């Protein structure tokens, strides 16, 4: 790890001020991605702004037909939240699949979304559920937020404060794990919303999370795994690496989508 | 250098540290609590698991400065004097180790599992919960057995404490 100057933010405004003022700053939330990245010297911020002691950013609330999760909420707390479990069980289930128990005690939803790892779980949920990412400056629709590999619509001086998820009629997530890293080789989040059906895919795309319009169209006719049988997506645009070829990933997208739809139809999400 | 202070195994600890100091380095190098191990240093293996404010955390993936003000429990703080913690005793009884390198992290994770999931643990629950702890020599069979036994023994411990 390269040397940096450490700053302990005492509140959101303090963190935002430091972010504006300091040279080459980086926000540290749970650190479960940033610290390993810094150890590998793939990130080397001059100034690190630690949000760990910032209060009031890890609450989960329900209002009307939506659930709002503070950016510093740990994965385990999303997983265990009665509010999330009741309103969007697929989201609570997804949070319990991230990393391992110790990682889930530290990692935060805001950190994961801001990082936009192409194999992370939360981006698929945000995109499928039509979430709104709220920052200290503005609100950004998930559709506009995820821009590519590790790229988001966040400006350098913006901090995610919370994420609002509209409650779907039903939703399901299926993750095909990379056995070594526990990240999604392919993960598909399917949401049946009052106005539309969305299918969002993480892990597979060469430029991050994406939707599958042809699957959404088929599910609109009938929301059943059977509606997706025989449908394919092109291998073009899929990621290809030692963990799986583009063709393999394209194939898995269909398999995972069918399992996600099946999970959405069950009361409790699939194991 | 910034100062960090925390409570480790019930004792106050304070030092000036390079901001890069990881919690595990602080424990091992500043406090000489070398029971907490560094296996992979990439938050995969779990040899470095300690409890931070009562929750299992990989101490190789947390800055010491972030732990400022926290209460830390390491493997050294688990036993009651010469009397092993029931989970340590269960690992010994069940021969749940071979080289022992992963054992401190396994035991700290095991105690965390009991805190979250209770004293009656199904085998598949234990195996799922151990996904962040890697053992490279014995295989997991006896570890899983030990955690089940340790979890049951810990319920006795709670009743005993309640009675006292």
CB proximity B18 to A under 8 Å: yes
A271 confidence band (pLDDT: 50, 70, 90): very low
* B 64-123 → A contacts, CB under 8 A: 65-66, 68-69, 109, 112-113, 116
CB proximity A213 to B under 8 Å: no
Asked if the model's pLDDT at residue B156 lies above 90, the reply is no
Residues of chain B with CATH 1.10.150.120: 86-163
CB proximity B124 to A under 8 Å: no
With contacts defined as CB-CB under 8 Å, which chain B residues touch A53? 68-69
With contacts defined as CB-CB under 8 Å, which chain B residues touch A4? 19-20
Using the beta-carbon criterion (under 8 Å), do B66 and A31 form an inter-chain contact? yes
Question: May I ask the CATH architecture of the domain B3-77?
Answer: Roll (3.10)
Residue range B86-163, CATH number: 1.10.150.120
Domains recognised in chain A with CATH numbers: 5-50 (3.30.43.10), 60-265 (3.30.465.10)
pLDDT reported for residue B158: 57
CB proximity B45 to A under 8 Å: no
Residues of chain B with CATH 3.10.20.30: 3-77
Closest residue to B43, CB basis, from A6, A8, A36 = A36
d(CA A116, CA A114): 6
What percent of chain B is modeled with pLDDT above 90? Answer: 91
Using the beta-carbon criterion (under 8 Å), do B62 and A35 form an inter-chain contact? yes
pLDDT reported for residue A138: 98
With contacts defined as CB-CB under 8 Å, which chain A residues touch B55? 76, 105
CB proximity B19 to A under 8 Å: yes
pLDDT reported for residue A81: 98
CB proximity B42 to A under 8 Å: yes
CA distance A32 to chain B (A): 6
Q: What is the pLDDT of residues B107-150, one digit of tens each?
A: 999 999 999 999 999 999 999 999 999 999 878 999 999 999 99
> DSSP assignment of A220-232, as one string?
HH--SGGGGTT--
Average pLDDT across chain A, whole number: 96
Of residues B128, B46, B56, B141, the one with CA closest to residue B98 = B141
Neighbours of A13 (CB within 10 A): 11
Asked if the model's pLDDT at residue A149 lies above 60, the reply is yes
> DSSP assignment of chain A, as one string?
----EEEE-SSHHHHHHHHHHSSSEEEESS-TTHHHHHHTTS---SEEEE-TT--SSS-EEEETTEEEEETT-BHHHHHH-HHHHHH-HHHHHHHTTSS-HHHHTT-BHHHHHHHT-TT-SHHHHHHHHT-EEEESS-EEEHHHHEEETTEES--TT--EEEEEEEPPSEEEEEEEE-TTT-SEEEEEEEEE-SS-EEEEEESSBTTS-EE-HHHHHHHHH--SGGGGTT----STTB--BTTB-HHHHHHHHHHHHHHHHHHHHSSS---
pLDDT reported for residue A57: 97
CB proximity A4 to B under 8 Å: yes
With contacts defined as CB-CB under 8 Å, which chain B residues touch A36? 42-43, 61
Average pLDDT over residues A58-80: 97
C-beta separation of B40 from B48 below 8 A: no
C-beta separation of A65 from A167 below 8 A: yes
Q: What is the pLDDT of residues A34-53, one digit of tens each?
A: 999 999 999 999 999 999 99
Asked if the model's pLDDT at residue B62 lies above 60, the reply is yes
C-beta separation of A255 from A246 below 8 A: no
Return the residue in B16, B17, B36, B63 with the most chain A beta carbons within 10 A, the one to mutate for interface testing.
B63
Complex ipTM tops 0.90: yes
3-state secondary structure of B72: strand
CB proximity A48 to B under 8 Å: yes
What percent of chain A is modeled with pLDDT above 70? Answer: 98
Closest residue to B42, CB basis, from A36, A48, A76 = A36
Q: What is the pLDDT of residues A85-133, one digit of tens each?
A: 999 999 999 999 999 999 999 999 999 999 999 999 999 999 999 999 9
B163 confidence band (pLDDT: 50, 70, 90): low
With contacts defined as CB-CB under 8 Å, which chain B residues touch A98? none
- Separation of first and last alpha carbons in chain B: 45
Asked if the model's pLDDT at residue B26 lies above 70, the reply is yes
Helix (H) / strand (E) containing B129: helix B123-129
Asked if the model's pLDDT at residue B159 lies above 50, the reply is yes
Q: What is the pLDDT of residues A202-259, one digit of tens each?
A: 999 999 999 999 999 999 999 999 999 999 999 999 999 999 999 999 999 999 999 9
pLDDT reported for residue A205: 94
With contacts defined as CB-CB under 8 Å, which chain A residues touch B63? 6, 28, 31, 35, 50
Query: A146-148 and A151-152 as β-strands: parallel, antiparallel, unpaired?
Result: antiparallel
Average pLDDT across chain B, whole number: 94
């Amino acid at each position: 790890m390269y040397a940096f100057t450490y700053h302990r933010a005492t509140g959101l405004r303090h963190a935002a001020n430091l972010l504006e003022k300091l040279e080459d700053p980086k926000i540290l939330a749970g650190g479960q991605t940033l610290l390993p990245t810094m150890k590998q010297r793939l990130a080397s911020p001059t100034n690190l702004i630690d949000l760990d002691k910032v209060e009031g950013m890890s609450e989960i609330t329900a209002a009307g037909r939506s659930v709002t999760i503070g950016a510093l909420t740990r994965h385990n707390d999303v997983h265990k939240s009665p509010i999330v479990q009741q309103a969007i069980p697929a989201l609570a289930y997804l949070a319990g699949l991230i990393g391992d128990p110790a990682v889930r005690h530290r990692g935060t939803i805001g950190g994961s979304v801001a990082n936009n790892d192409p194999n992370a779980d939360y981006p698929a949920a945000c995109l499928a559920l039509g979430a709104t990412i709220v920052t200290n400056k503005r609100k950004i629709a998930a559709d506009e937020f995820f821009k590519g590999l590790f790229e988001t619509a966040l400006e350098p001086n913006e901090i995610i404060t919370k994420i609002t998820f509209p409650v779907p009629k039903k939703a399901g997530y299926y993750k095909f794990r990379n056995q070594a890293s526990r990240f999604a080789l392919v993960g598909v989040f399917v949401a049946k919303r009052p106005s539309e059906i969305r299918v969002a895919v993480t892990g597979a795309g060469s430029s991050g999370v994406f939707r599958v319009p042809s699957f959404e169209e088929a599910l609109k006719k009938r929301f059943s795994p059977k509606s997706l049988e025989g449908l394919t997506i092109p291998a073009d645009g899929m990621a290809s690496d030692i963990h799986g070829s583009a063709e393999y990933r394209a194939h898995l997208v269909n398999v995972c989508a069918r399992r996600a739809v099946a999970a959405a139809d069950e009361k409790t999400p699939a194991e | 250098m910034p100062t960090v202070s925390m409570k480790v195994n019930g004792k106050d600890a304070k030092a000036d540290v390079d901001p890069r100091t990881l919690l595990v380095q602080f424990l091992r190098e500043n406090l000489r609590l070398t029971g907490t191990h560094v296996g992979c240093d990439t938050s995969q293996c779990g040899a470095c698991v300690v409890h931070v404010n009562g929750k299992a955390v990989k101490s190789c993936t947390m800055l010491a400065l972030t732990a400022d003000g926290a209460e830390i429990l390491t493997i050294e703080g688990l036993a009651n004097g010469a009397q092993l913690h029931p989970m340590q005793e269960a690992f010994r009884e069940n021969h749940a180790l071979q080289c022992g390198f992963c054992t401190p992290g396994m035991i700290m994770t095991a105690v965390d599992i009991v805190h979250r999931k209770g004293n009656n643990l199904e085998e598949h629950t234990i195996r799922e919960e151990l996904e962040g702890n890697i053992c490279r020599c014995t295989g997991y069979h006896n570890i899983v057995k030990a955690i089940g036994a340790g979890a049951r023994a810990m319920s006795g411990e709670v009743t005993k404490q309640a009675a006292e």
